Structure 1
Amino acid sequence: MADPLVDISNPEQLAAEIARLRGEIARLESKVQQLDQLAHLDPLIGLPNRRGFMRQLEALIARVQRYGDHGAMLFVDVDGLKSINDQHGHQAGDEALIRVSEMLVSGVRSGDCVARLGGDEFGIILEHADEAIAAETAARLVERIAACEFTHEGAPLPLSVAIGVGIIAADDDAETIMDRADEAMYRKKSAAA
């Protein structure tokens, strides 16, 4: 820490104190950026968490409202995760979540956002997507995950998801879209049962 009494009439001392303060500001800005990232990322899978997802969803809503862009949200629920946890342990459940997240990320465009909303639920923001594109993406992801070969300690464990689609309208807010996509997902689950 610098001497609290810097002689401002001494150019060398003043320059040294300014350099020290600039370094301290840069260190603090870096720390704030790290904390912001931690606050918006899921620690298990390294994708945005609900808070990070909501931030991106609100940004897309603003673009829909301002520019008339199209967008959709997919609400993804992993089927049977409690059963996997109960029968094979939480490590298996974590591995299943990681595998599903990898398949979701690799199954959408790089500009789309995949996030873990909590527990066994994921959200996907599809930019520039109308209802047909969103429905096709959801169906493709459901098939892809059902067809994957997931094993834990040599035991094959089936994975499946239910996905609901919520199309973003200009007068929506984030909670309304999440509720719409969540309700659509529950209708899919009920129809499959």
Structure 2
Amino acid sequence: MNNSHLELLKKLADEFQPRTDVNTRATVEAESTDAFATLVDLARDMQNRLDQQQNRIRQLEQMVETDELTGLYNRRGFLRRVRETMARAARHPENGILVIADLDGFKLINDHHGHAAGDAILRHFGQNLRTHTRADDFVARFGGDEFAILLVGSIPEVAERRISDLEKATSRFPLIWQGAALPIRASFGFTVYNGKSDITQLLQQADDAMYANKHAKRPHSESSHNAA
């Protein structure tokens, strides 16, 4: 077969080769790319929606576990943190301190200056507790004029010094209310926890210690009604 015959065969082969192969392949590739991009966009949109829902859930949980007046944990939120801390202490042996604090003479403040002043006292005291505790500690308004603090990883000797510092800090910063300085005093009680502790018993022990300190500070002639 001479060269002229070869040239003729090449021309025939080119003539019968489907002309749409390249275009078709390009079209399929473009559609595949578009489909993939669409899937990526959908996945991103779903992730964004999921993130928004999770953020909303966290916000709702925070609202449920936060005391509206002071911005601290409420009883529910605090007990959740206590349970989490106890579980961690059970896995990695660790002691800590549970503190209960109760304002002294709070009823007199409410009676003499009104509930708005009482609310301001609670906010002021709560802020002092938060300011003078570590970021790893948990502070809560437990109800009424009672507060709770979890000193994570602390020991009694250190806790006594820290509670003494809290008492001093509280008394050093009275609340200025309508031109008058309202003194803020509180009684503290604490107990030691570990991974095997019972939360109900811990709360009772800290509460008993707090009331023992409160009664020890009262003049003998002062009634428990007026000192509450």
TM-score (normalised: structure 2): 0.74
Quickly say closer, same or farther: Cα 1:25–1:63, change in 2 above 3 A: closer
**Percent identity between the aligned chains?**
33
What are the residue-to-residue correspondences of 1:32-111 with 2, within 5 Å? 32-111=57-136
Residue 19 of structure 1: CA displacement? Answer: 5.1
Aligned counterpart, 1:162: 187
Given the alignment of the two structures, is residue 187 of structure 1 paired with residue 212 of structure 2, yes or no? yes
Cα contact 1:61–1:173 (8 A) shared by 2: no
Quickly say closer, same or farther: Cα 1:21–1:168, change in 2 above 3 A: same
Aligned counterpart, 1:4: none
Cα contact 2:93–2:194 (8 A) shared by 1: no
Residue 15 of structure 1: CA displacement? Answer: 6.3
Aligned counterpart, 1:3: none
Distance, in Å, in 1 between the alignment partners of 2:152 and 2:183 is 30
The CA deviation string for residues 169-188 of structure 1, in whole angstroms up to 9 with x for no partner, is 33212222111111110111
Aligned counterpart, 2:222: none
The equivalent position to 2:51 in structure 1, one of 15, 23, 26, is 26
Distance, in Å, in 1 between the alignment partners of 2:47 and 2:154 is 44
Letter in 2 for 1:29: Q
5+ long unaligned stretches in structure 2: 1-33, 219-228
Distance, in Å, in 1 between the alignment partners of 2:41 and 2:87 is 45
The equivalent position to 1:138 in structure 2, one of 158, 163, 168, is 163
**1:58 match: secondary structure:** helix
Letter in 2 for 1:41: T
Letter in 1 for 2:49: E
Distance, in Å, in 1 between the alignment partners of 2:74 and 2:66 is 5
Aligned counterpart, 1:175: 200
Quickly say closer, same or farther: Cα 1:179–1:15, change in 2 above 3 A: same
Cα contact 1:64–1:168 (8 A) shared by 2: no
**1:122 match: secondary structure:** strand
More helix by proportion, 1 or 2?
A: 2
The CA deviation string for residues 146-165 of structure 1, in whole angstroms up to 9 with x for no partner, is 23232210112111000001
Distance, in Å, in 2 between the alignment partners of 1:150 and 1:114 is 20
Distance, in Å, in 2 between the alignment partners of 1:64 and 1:16 is 44
- Tell me which stretches of 4 or more aligned residues in structure 1 moved more than 6 Å: 12-16
Quickly say closer, same or farther: Cα 1:14–1:108, change in 2 above 3 A: closer
Cα contact 2:96–2:155 (8 A) shared by 1: yes
Larger Cα Rg: Structure 1 or Structure 2?
2
Quickly say closer, same or farther: Cα 1:17–1:109, change in 2 above 3 A: closer
Distance, in Å, in 2 between the alignment partners of 1:15 and 1:103 is 50
Distance, in Å, in 1 between the alignment partners of 2:195 and 2:45 is 48
TM-score (normalised: structure 1): 0.86
The equivalent position to 2:138 in structure 1, one of 113, 133, 158, is 113
5+ long unaligned stretches in structure 1: 1-9
Residue 41 of structure 1: CA displacement? Answer: 0.7
Letter in 1 for 2:117: A
